[in-house]
Chain A
Amino acid sequence: MTSTKLYTAIYVVLFAMATAQVLIEFAGLAYWVGVAAILALSSLKAVMVAGYYQHLRFEPPAISAVVLVGLLAALVLTFAAAYSIL
């Protein structure tokens, strides 16, 4: 499917992004800008792990859809509940 080289490259990138996340914390950005950047990095890492290590990129899209529906349900719960007390 894909070579060990690609897996290794992804591993290196993931490692670097994890480090970057902590550095952002100390970069002195405005709080919410920092939060957005950190969560964006987490999401990017998640997509890379799911896409290549779990090889979702090479599976029928329906599988990704199943997982995304679960994710959507969780997000609806989280945001609607939080919004309800704002």
Chain B
Amino acid sequence: MNDETRHRTEPDGGHTTDGGHASAGERTTDGEHETDGGRATDGGHATAGDELDPSRIDGHADAAEEAFPPLGSIKRWFVTTNHKDIGILYTLTALFFLVFGGVLALLMRVQLWTPGGNFLSPLSYNQAVTAHGLLMVFWFLSPFAFGFANYVVPLQIGAKDLAFPRLNALSYWLYLFSGVLFGVSFFQGQSLAGGWTMYAPLNLPTYMPNVGATTAILALVLFVASVTVSSVNFLTTMHRMRAEGLTYWRLPLFTWTILLTVWMMLFAFAALLAALLILTSDRLLGTTYFAAEGSGSLLWAHLFWFFGHPEVYIVFFPALGVMAETFQTFTGRRLVGRKWFILAMILVAVQSFAVWMHHMFLTGINLQVKTLFMATTIGISLPFDLMVFALIYTMIKGRIRFTTPFLFSFGALVLFIIGGITGVFLGAIVLDYEFRGTYWVVAHFHYVMVGGVTALIGGLYYWFPKMTGRMYDEWLGKVHFGLFFVGFNLLYFPMFLAWETPRRVIEYDPAFVTWHQLATVGAFVLGASFLVMFWNLSRSLFVGEEAGDNPWEFATTAEWAVPSPPPLENFPGTPSYGSGSLRFLTTERALTPGEGSGGAPGVADGGTTAAVGGIDHDLDSRGLGGHDPDRSHDPNHGHESHASVWPFVVGLASFVVFLGLSGFRDGGLPPGMEGGIYAGIAVVGTAFLAFALVGMARQRFRGPAGPFGESWPFDGVENTKLGVWIFLASDVVLFGAFIGAYVFTRVAHGWVDWHVVPHDPTPGLVNTYLLLTSSFSVVLALVAAEKGSRYGLLAGLTATLVLGVGFLANKAIEWNELFHEGLTLSSSVETSTFYLTTGLHGAHVLVGLLIVLYMMGRAARGAYLDDERPVEYFGLYWHFVDIVWLFLFPLFYII
């Protein structure tokens, strides 16, 4: 793709280096606050896209803004924060992991050509199975969907970019480096080998002693960090930055599925994070959660599947969104029962958190709870029936055009129906006794999950012309679909027939050898079909036909109303649906989408499809109810940043830290050189990370500024504040899962027989006083900042720092005494839960104190007095940490 074919407007002078303490940039920041008057009141309209970073708004930014290199430059891809670039990066990286995971699958299928084949060693086979599952589920499926989400969602909702573009880049780099870390695990003895569910106690060093297994788990932790940042970003964007008139009912269906997906991600991944952190602690620090007899392995199952079932929908919903979009586009009509479809999806998203124990029917949980979860599982299949019928009726009522994207979506529907029906068997307790751990399960979830992949591949063909400006070769696309569909069924259907084969084992009954050989042939056909795709798409980049704005004719969502690929800031004006159809408001007039380029109507998906004709081209925007965002008054207003190298640096530094940590075991290091090397890497990595975070905090960066059209129900809550709150909600689940793990373990071991670790509640009570007082001092600091008192602000922050340090010092003394009594992290499950849960809280305190320290430095130089929002947002976090302690103290000290 050369630059001419990509219609992006390249940055001009405004975006190049401002040089040093750029006066222009500084004026922009200040100017914005001047024009807007007060901040706190009109949050909705003052946001300078300040990310979750307390330092940036204060008008004393130190680092100059970075220049934004052109598309052809390699550097561009390391510094870009633009959602379309990030979308492309996600898509390409995810495809790489598809190949990685796919090759591992082919290795497995070669092994299974004969029972107990000796192509791989049994242990290598186990690693291949495990890595294949983890890579496909985490590093391919969701990120692939988020490639599209990144590219398409802002376009569909009429936003210039995500709310926090720099954090979006950070999500990507954390994702990439988590994948690299996973790759490294193969070179540290042995990677994880216990299956993608990582069941306890198999996941402990006793059974998987290699450093590589720890690294794989740390890679997952890093991946979850990426997901959390991304969820906060998408939720803020989608709730706050929709175009005028784009109410939830009118939101395009793909955007709807992503919205529900990120909500599920926010909460489900927090539970996974709790599971992974506890596991990391068991491996690195020697706590004994998952080794504890009578509770450990069940605890893992609960935490993992509380995440695991929503995860099924997290990977499937975006596929459903692609299906809904392509069915509409290629049948030429709106989805039948659109509102019901949306309601059904909302219902499923909620229900998905109440079915997880159907993965535990063969464990020792009681029969009542099993029955309850069988009922909820049957319940969750009902809304899916509605969705399936909506898609089928849409086909029946519309006139179908069998393009490649449609074929893939249609194929996905067929596969999903088969996958869904075969899953019903597994949801019945009695049948699950028979089917658990067999190839029935393998076949079922591949029909569901790879059924989802099928739709996403359709999405790749669907949006390829938008992303590249070129059409793919339709004939080769159909060849790909044919090979894919045949290969898929040849691969997975025989697994139903050979269902008695035990899962994850290389041995099987020789009677099934034909079915397994068919499956292996199918696997290679499926793999080969992707060669056709890669050839087709990469060749089309250079020789494909020019795509035009809307190659699909009946596509109605907003991404088709702008050029392919869209310009840097997406729209020729401010998108608005205020009049019932999409228009771009500029200061001179309202532009009709596709005007002058022969494109099709860009209409909100949610109806009004007909309302396109007869548009008053000359309508002066001032006539449109004053919706002219008064940008014309401030020439700098539209100036937004698009480049930052810091997300990349933070990602790299996190990778180094985690690599160093992987060497630890049971609170110590491997002996000799090896231990020294790991310790060295960890120390260097930590310093590097600190440097990177400070660099990122000090950089001036402006994301999309308001005013935004629709922000309900968060009107008046500016983006950063909403982001902080959404993050805190996920932190609630993280701590909730830790407390839940403690309660569960304590119940399992007899609630009243439990030994409360600290025999003296006094240190805990003192710490309660310290933390409460520090909450009060943060409030006083904020009041002082509001009054413009630099001295009061500094005094409040200093008091907070002193009290927080006192809290940690008191804890250190307390722990030290307990250690001397022989109560270490590994002594018992009681000490493990005590140290780890309060330790996680202590880590939150420490992070808070580092932020306070940073803010004190800035406050001393006069920051925050004319804009105290960073102090306020820090306070939200600090009070949350205080609240957590209000529960930890009684739970671990006095009950």
Contacts and interface: CB of A to CB of B under 8 A. Distances in A.
Given A15-B772, A46-B887, A62-B713, 9 more contacts: A45-B883, A49-B879, A70-B736, A76-B353, A81-B299, A81-B743, A83-B369, A85-B298, A85-B744
Given A18-B768, A77-B736, A77-B740, A60 B713 contact: yes
Interface stretch (B91-99, B320-328, B715-723): B715-723
Interface in B723-765: 725-726, 728-730, 732-733, 735-737, 739-740, 743-744, 747-748, 752, 761, 765
Interface residues of A, number: 46
Contacts of B335: none
Interface of B: 266-267, 270-271, 295, 298-299, 302-303, 306, 353-354, 357, 360, 364-366, 369, 713-717, 722, 725-726, 728-730, 732-733, 735-737, 739-740, 743-744, 747-748, 752, 761, 765, 768-769, 772-773, 775-776, 778-780, 783, 875-876, 879-880, 882-883, 886-887, 889-890, 894-895
A70 B729 contact: yes
Interface string A25-47: 10000010011001100100110
Contacts of B295: 85
Contact of A77 (B298, B306, B717): B306
A49 B81 CA distance: 36
Given A18-B769, A63-B722, A82 B729 contact: no
Contacts of A63: 714, 717, 722, 725
Interface of A: 4, 7-8, 11, 14-15, 18-19, 21-22, 25, 31, 34-35, 38-39, 42, 45-46, 49-50, 53-54, 59-63, 66-67, 69-71, 73-78, 80-86
Contacts of B715: 60
**Shortest beta-carbon contacts, A-B, top 3:** A74-B736, A78-B740, A62-B713
B79 to A, nearest CB: 32
Nearest to A74: B736
Nearest to A53: B879
A35 B895 contact: yes
Contacts of B773: 11, 15
B894 A21 contact: yes
B717 A11 contact: no
A68 B483 CA distance: 48
A71 B722 contact: no
Taking chain B's interface residues, is the majority helix, strand, or loop, or is none over half, making it mixed?
helix
Contacts of B726: 66
A76 B354 contact: yes
A67 B729 contact: yes
A85 B740 contact: no
B714 A62 contact: yes
A82 to B, nearest CB: 5
A84 B271 contact: no
Nearest to B271: A77
B895 to A, nearest CB: 5
A54 B895 contact: no
Contacts of B740: 74, 77-78, 81-82
A58 B876 CA distance: 14
- Among B728, B773, B880, B890, find the residue whose CB has the most chain A CB atoms closer than 10 A: B890
Contact of A46 (B270, B369, B768, B883): B883
- Among A7, A14, A22, A81, find the residue whose CB has the most chain B CB atoms closer than 10 A: A81
A74 B714 contact: no
Contacts of B725: 63, 66-67
Nearest to B369: A84
12 contacts: A11-B775, A18-B769, A19-B765, A38-B894, A49-B775, A54-B880, A63-B725, A70-B736, A77-B303, A77-B306, A77-B736, A85-B747
A60 B714 contact: yes
A46 B881 CA distance: 11
